[in-house]
Amino acid sequence: MTLAPEIDRTAAPADVDIVLPPRTSWPRRVGKHPRLMHYNRLIALVLLANAGLLWHSLGRGDWWSADGVALAAVSNAALANFALAIVIRQQYVVNLLFWLATRAPTSWPLKVRWPLAKVYHFGGLHVGGAMAGTLWFLASVGAQTYHAARGLDGGSTGTLVVSYVLIGLLLAIVATAVPPFRARFHDHFEQAHRFGGWAALALFWTQTVLSIRDQGGPLFAAPATWVLVGVTVSIALPWLRLRKVSVRIERPSSHVALAHFDHGVTPFAGSSTAISRNPLREWHSFANVPAPGRSGFRLTISRAGDWTGRFIDDAPEKVWVKGITTAGVANIETLFTKVIYVATGSGIGPCLPHLLAARVPSRLVWATRAPRTTYGDELVDEILAVQPDAVIWDTSSHGKPDMVKLAYAAYRDFGAEAVICISNKKLTWQVVHGMECLGIPAYGAIWDS
């Protein structure tokens, strides 16, 4: 283990004897700004694609005319976007995206592998699809209202009523997903998405059946029917794997619980599992830590709120799990020859399975309060056994370090190609943006769920 240098707690980060190189040119730095990250670019891409569809529909598409609006076409545009938003979050699809992105060999140019490793920004497709779908559905309801007011063919009163209820529900779901609300009332956001989403799916089925009946066509010949079948299966699959399993809790301190599972599932390194004490209320995902050569896995759960606090203080004997183990951000490590793992506190959890698996040469930089007291000698010794040169910074003894400088020093000394940061939102973005401004590929969670 490389011991952190003794520094005065009041010293500025610049006092640490690590000098950063000059940042890249201004145009390159602009492209690396968090507001221009790939997540937001994907949102813009979906919206631009839909703007192109709108342009076509207003011109050669003949969706609008003196005889009315092509109601089925507008409704299908909405449904296609909602299908994208839902399916892109499906666990099998997420694992497939990671598998495809990480097929690139390390012999490929870094400028190709760098953006491929941003695969975990796929949530931008979810947001873009949901936004575009809601706008198209607003247009669809407006068109239905226009037809009803003008006495044109196209829909019954029942179909219009269902559409109005559905648009109200969709707007409520979108409102709870706005970042400030989601961050402050995450439980309400989660429940609105779950129960509101189920209700919206039922209403979409109702509206589709009524619309097809109004038009006199066969139900199973309509594309919308099969899109809804696919969406329904996608939503149902994780719940079909719902089960209650035994868990053994080990508490090295009042801040951390190590949850041990061995119910016939040994997940791959870098995956996560969602657990719950009440499956209809809230779910929490944690990184799986399988031990090489042993069945089962562990979850590292730190006190970070009411739910985790209750889990540590009142350890359950059984918890609910659902779905399949899902790939996490650090799975992109295989795109690089060497990587630096930067973690603070319980961020060591998602890093640990990769360190133990040692699929890619790596070096750990971990800043945490009293590591042995907080996480236990056994866990720290396990880390040091596979990472003897790890930089472990005890913040209770040395204060908070400049993680950008520590990350860069490790990157430079180890000859790494990329930096993966697992920390809180503020520090993760600070490290990722700081590294990329130096021309270094860097990755970290984007908190989009």
CATH number for the domain spanning 259: value is: 2.40.30.10
pLDDT of res. 363: 97
In a 3-state reduction of DSSP, which class is residue 390?
Answer: coil
Q: What is the pLDDT of residue 3?
A: 46
Q: Are 431 and 442 in contact (CB under 8 A)?
A: yes
163, part of any domain:
yes
Greatest alpha-carbon pair distance for the chain in Å reads 81
How does DSSP classify residue 268?
A: P
**Cα 436 from Cα 269, distance rounded (Å):** 26
The count of other CB atoms within 10 Å of the CB of residue 184 is 9
On whether both 281 and 349 belong to a single domain, the answer is: no
Residue-level pLDDT at 42: 96
- Strand 362-368 and strand 391-394: the pairing is parallel
Q: Is residue 449 part of a domain?
A: no
Query: Does residue 48 fall inside a structural domain?
Result: yes
3-state secondary structure of 276: strand
Residue 18 has a pLDDT of 84
Residues paired with 368 in a beta bridge: 394
**Under 8 Å between Cβ of 251 and 315:** yes
* One domain, residues 312 and 288: yes
196 and 72 within one domain: yes
Distance, in Å, from the CA atom of 31 to the CA atom of 402, rounded to the nearest integer, reads 24
| Beta partners for residue 380, in sequence order | none
- Concatenated DSSP letters of 326-354: EE-GGGGGGGSSSEEEEEEGGGHHHHHHH
Beta-strand (E) ranges in 76-154? none
Domain closes at, from 240, 271, 296: 240
226 assigned to some structural domain: yes
pLDDT at residue number 124: 95
Answer yes or no: are the C-beta atoms of 290 and 350 closer than 8 Å: no
Tokens of 120: 């975990």
Beta strands of 112-165 (E only): which ranges? Answer: none
232 lies in the same domain as 251: no
Looking at the fold, whether 258 and 320 belong to one and the same domain comes out as yes
CB 252 within 8 A of CB 379: yes
Number of folded domains that form the chain: 3
CA dist 147 and 153 (Å) reads: 7
Q: How far apart are CA 8 and CA 287, in angstroms?
A: 34
Task: Indicate if 247 and 283 belong to the same structural domain.
Answer: yes
pTM of the predicted structure, to 2 decimals: 0.90
Please say which residue of 327, 357, 376 terminates a domain: 327
Rounded to whole angstroms, the Cα distance separating 225 from 313 reads 48
Last residue of a domain, one of 263, 298, 327: 327
**Of all helices (H) and strands (E), which one includes residue 202?**
helix 186-215
**Measured distance CA(281)–CA(397) in Å, rounded:** 40
- The H-or-E segment that residue 256 falls in is strand 256-261
Span 258-312, pLDDT tens digits: 999 998 888 988 899 999 999 988 899 999 998 888 899 999 998 887 889 999 9
Considering the domain architecture, whether residues 52 and 7 belong to the same structural domain is answered as no
Contact criterion met (CB below 8 Å) for 18 and 406:
yes
Same domain? For 174 and 255 the reply is: no
Q: Bin 264: left if φ > 0, else alpha if -120 < ψ < 50, else beta.
A: left
Q: Residues 266, 135: one domain?
A: no
CA distance 295 to 274: 19
418 in a domain, yes or no? yes
**Nearest CA among 342, 441, 336, 418 for reference residue 28:** 441
Q: What is the CA radius of gyration of the chain?
A: 25
Whether the CB-CB separation of 132 and 54 falls below 8 Å is answered with: no
CATH of the domain at 407: 3.40.50.80
Residue ranges, the chain, pLDDT below 50: 1-15
Domain assignment of residue 436, yes or no: yes
> In the prediction, which pLDDT does 449 show?
59
- Do 145 and 204 lie in one domain? The reply is yes
Asked whether residue 301 falls in the same domain as residue 253, the answer is yes
- Encoding tokens for residue 262? 């061995």
CA separation for the pair 322, 237 (Å, rounded): 9
Pair 419, 27: CB distance under 8 Å: no
Residue of 236, 252, 352, 230 whose CA lies nearest to 292: 352
E strands, 25-180, are 64-65, 68-69
The domain of 348 spans 2-27+329-444
Q: Are residues 302 and 222 both part of a single domain?
A: no
